[in-house]
Structure 1
């Protein structure tokens, strides 16, 4: 499998999210409402992307609940079509080589089964970091610790540290 095939296989994956996170996703995702208590993203996957970045920044991974308590998105390749955003997000995840437990130099020589395991590990890491970031965001939201501004998410990311649980 060459690098383009590897990327294409990843883009077909549909990361999942915990059904229990729907209230926080609703609070920060645009659902056709013109007024909101907080700045909003468009569809769920946009806040999911932000939550993943926040989870990485905080080094907070949280496994998803069992499959029957989760939902999936559309394929990653359909998020922000014709945008380099997904490539950027994958590159961010690929920097987490300790968590992925892979040697990038070995990918070229891997068989299909091993490559599928790597792809599953990448998707799992995305899901766990996003779930950790959503848990953190939900905690702040439920405890009234979020300031509403146009830059709320940027400010939250910039002020987030690994010690502010």
Structure 2
């Protein structure tokens, strides 16, 4: 059985081009909200979990996926713990961790739901995501969907 920390996340090429590259400075984006792909991915995952929006990956997947280890090694230990906790909460049982591929797939689906929500917001004229305070508000002002 694979270790949950070594299984690669993935995302659609479209969201890489239209969200991740736009908001991740280190990878060439024009804004400075996130320094790494995984930070933008975690932002989308949190939005997906909070809004209870999950979507399976449908279009071509982007290259260079990362792992929970990548996050953990990039000072994201608390983010890793949070993603795992949200995954368990949405699955309704710790049993999701018995098959790490299922857990990573669930996180991928919620991140994809979050990315598509972000894309929809951008298409509807939202242009303030390059403001860190707006990003925080998007995450923390939401009511939990139960």
Q: Please indicate, yes or no, whether the TM-score normalized by the shorter chain is above 0.5.
A: yes
1:32 and 1:123 map into 2 onto residues whose CA distance is: 23
2:70 and 2:29 map into 1 onto residues whose CA distance is: 25
1:88 equivalent to 2:70? Answer no
TM-score normalized with structure 2 length: 0.79
2:108 and 2:6 map into 1 onto residues whose CA distance is: 15
Structure 1 residue 92 displacement after superposition: 2.1
1:125 equivalent to 2:117? Answer no
Structure 1 residue 138 displacement after superposition: 1.1
**1:61 aligned to 43, 54, 63, which one?**
54
**Residue 110 (structure 1) aligns with:** none
**Residue 135 (structure 1) aligns with:** 116
**Residue 47 (structure 1) aligns with:** 40
The 5 A counterparts of 1:10-159 are: 10-22=4-16, 23-31=18-26, 36=31, 39-65=32-58, 69-71=60-62, 72-81=64-73, 83-85=76-78, 86-98=80-92, 104=95, 115=98, 118-147=99-128, 148-159=130-141
1:46 and 1:129 map into 2 onto residues whose CA distance is: 15
- Provide the aligned length of Structure 1 versus Structure 2: 140
2:101 and 2:28 map into 1 onto residues whose CA distance is: 36
Structure 1 residue 145 displacement after superposition: 2.0
Q: Which 5+ residue runs of structure 2 have no aligned equivalent?
A: none
4+ residue runs of structure 1 moved beyond 3 angstroms? 31-36, 159-163
Structure 1 residue 76 displacement after superposition: 1.7
Structure 1 residue 128 displacement after superposition: 0.4
- 1:151/1:123 Cα in 2 relative to 1: closer, same or farther (>3 Å)? same
Structure 1 residue 144 displacement after superposition: 1.6
Deviations 1:115-156 (A, max 9, x none): 4xx212101111100000000111112222243533111111
2:84 and 2:42 map into 1 onto residues whose CA distance is: 11
Q: Which 5+ residue runs of structure 1 have no aligned equivalent?
A: 1-5, 108-114
- 1:159/1:12 Cα in 2 relative to 1: closer, same or farther (>3 Å)? same
